[in-house]
Amino acid sequence: MKLSKKSAYALKALACLGSPDTPPLISIQELARRENIPKKFLEQVLLALNKAGLVQSNRGKAGGYALRGAPAGITLGDIVRAVDGPLSPLPCANPLAPVKCADCASLEHCWLRILMTEVGAAVNTALDQTTLADICRRAEQSKRSRHVRAPMYEI
């Protein structure tokens, strides 16, 4: 499965919001700048995340965005489903509203649908086992490893 650009931006934005280096409230402009996300696109992403209850927004001059809960309580699955909806490899394998494929005789007896439903369930399980806290740790490790310089050797 391929994540949408919207999901990738949501993950980057939430990793920034969950970072210990981020102030309690951060403006959308600053968040867009830090994560190199187009502001207009970030507005759509944050709107979906707010609607899903993952972030909160405060209006006004000193306003901004913050996580609505601890990073350990938010999963990768929560984030991806908030911006992209239910994940399924095929429309017929959608757990909430399966749609029969044009070339399929029956939803109930399609071997491909049964297989793809199992694949979708496995992907969702994997996404639900990774928390935003895990993602933030990985982002911090990545930042640190970029700043480590190789030793200089001179002869």
pTM over 0.85: no
Per-residue confidence (pLDDT) for residue 97, from 0 to 100: 82
78 by DSSP, 3-state: which?
helix
Higher pLDDT, 125 or 88: 125
Helices (H), the chain: 5-17, 28-35, 39-51, 76-84, 111-128, 132-147
CATH code of residue 58: 1.10.10.10
28 to each of 16, 75, 151, how far by Cα in Å? 12, 22, 38
Q: What value does the mean pLDDT take over residues 91-117?
A: 84
Range of the domain at 91: 5-137
Over residues 49-58, the pLDDT tens digits come to 999 999 999 8
Amino acid at 136: C
Position 148 in a domain: no
